[in-house]
Amino acid sequence: MESLAIALSGMQSAQTRVAASAHNVATFLTEDFRPQRVAQTSQPGGSSRVRVQQSSDPAPVSFARGVVGQIQASTQYSASARVFQVGAEMRGQLLDIFG
């Protein structure tokens, strides 16, 4: 799979992880709170995929775990954005060479 598509899937996965965490924080004090859980998996070709699932039972949420998850997602997004930037630069240089 092309580096730009891989990087984009990583950015989208990170964005989904942050959105689920934000949902959990925003709805934590509601009655019958059921947190969203995110499962991220690698796909053939290097991309990633996330699935968001609503917990079937009310469950406690660890704010520390949520903060760590947000930091991980932010780091993932930054790294994927850098891969996208480098891939775009390489593509531009190839076009300059062969264009």
What's the rounded Cα separation, in Å, for the pair 99 and 94? 8
Cβ atoms of 9 and 83 within 8 Å: the answer is: no
Please report the pLDDT score of residue 95 as a whole number: 64
3-state secondary structure of 28: coil
Domains: count for the chain: 1
pLDDT tens across 58-78, in order? 777 777 888 898 899 999 999
pLDDT at 14 over 90: yes
Is the whole model's pTM more than 0.85, yes or no?
A: no
Please report the pLDDT score of residue 99 as a whole number: 58
Range of the domain at 13: 3-98
3-state secondary structure of 51: strand
